[in-house]
Amino acid sequence: MKGLLRTDWIGLLVLVLAGGAALAAARPEFLTAYNIDVILVSFCLTVVYALGQGVMIAIGHMNLALGATGCLVAVAFGGVLEVWHLPLALAIGFGLLLGVACGFVNGWLTYRTGLTSFIITLATLSIFKGAALGITQAQPFYGIPAAVKAFGSDRWGPLPEMLLVALPIVIVIAVFFGRMVVGRQLLAYGGNPHAAELSGIPASRVVILAHTLSGVLAAVAGMLSVARLQNATPSIGDEWLIASFAAPVIGGAVLTGGHLPVIGTCLGVLVVALINQALVMLAVDPFYVQVLLGLLILGAVGLNRLREVRLGTAPAVRLS
């Protein structure tokens, strides 16, 4: 019980439950199957790309090209299905490979140049996004097979079928960072790159692996978006950036690396989805979501920072 209380996500869980309860009390229609479904569908998609950013945050990097990768994979996925009539399994494999390639390029360039991943992924962001728009001429692919569409819209009661992808990914990432040597090496590198290298963890492998993993998760999120929207439109991924940082940060991740709270990230995704849904139900201007998300990020990073200082684990003072 004491251990449970000390985990960093318990407060967040209480917050999510209290928020849900308050919303249900104020608006009884909140607990309808439809609303729960909306929140869960949004959860399935957001948690995948939030973990895609979380993997980067774990090693102290970032991936601005996350949404652009998802977009490129989504339109390529839609394109090979509609134009080349590829079998579904092959198309999914193609999409995943493209995600691997995009992530690998990011990781390789970041490692080889030794520059911040910010500027590298800013460059690849516009390369991938431009390619996605150029291929499609900004028009969506509509020829999505019925199986994909069904996967995006089928439900068991209030549970969307997309959970079949989202939940295993959450578990795999949790096991990868919690139990596996490579995952722990990624975290060690994130906590202190220099010390990790001295203890024999190759920086090249860590950086390239993490970026590739991020690319794969972006690819999965891109293809899930196609299933959810029932078409492959090149605006997929445009709104991922803020939420992809917000969810891990609300969950307790520190941008300097070394820590990836998987359960916290899931709860962070739920917080974002709850806020969205609450504001829709209370008929508030959607731009309040923007303001609130911004404030949440600031509040969460401030809180994480405070906790670090309190625990004496704060990294050396950085002014920039």
- Positions touching another protein (CB under 8 A) are 62, 109, 113-116, 118-120, 122-131, 133-134, 137-138, 238-239, 241-242, 245, 249, 255-256, 285, 287-291, 293-295, 297-298, 301-302, 305, 317-320
d(CA 146, CA 86): 14
Number of Cβ atoms within 10 Å of the Cβ of 8? 15
Helix intervals (H) in the chain: 2-6, 10-26, 33-58, 66-82, 88-113, 117-136, 146-153, 163-179, 181-191, 193-198, 203-229, 240-250, 262-281, 287-311
CB of residue 314 to another protein, shortest distance in Å = 9
Nearest residue (CB) to another protein, 35 versus 214: 214
Nearest residue (CB) to another protein, 87 versus 302: 302
CB of residue 85 to another protein, shortest distance in Å = 25
Q: Which of 205, 260, 246, 265 is nearest to 13 (CA)?
A: 265
Nearest residue (CB) to another protein, 119 versus 182: 119
The token duo for 173 is: 């990432």
Nearest residue (CB) to another protein, 16 versus 120: 120
CB of residue 227 to another protein, shortest distance in Å = 24
- Residue 142's identity, in one-letter code, is Y
CB of residue 235 to another protein, shortest distance in Å = 10
d(CA 119, CA 115): 8
Nearest residue (CB) to another protein, 199 versus 290: 290
CB of residue 239 to another protein, shortest distance in Å = 8
Nearest residue (CB) to another protein, 144 versus 246: 246
CB of residue 61 to another protein, shortest distance in Å = 11
CB of residue 113 to another protein, shortest distance in Å = 5
d(CA 249, CA 12): 12
Beta-carbon contacts of 132 under 8 Å, excluding residues fewer than 6 positions away, are 68, 71, 72, 74, 75, 76, 234
Helix intervals (H) in 59-180: 66-82, 88-113, 117-136, 146-153, 163-179
Nearest residue (CB) to another protein, 44 versus 218: 218
The widest CA-to-CA distance across the chain, in whole angstroms, is 58
Q: Which of 38, 132, 150, 156 is nearest to 88 (CA)?
A: 150
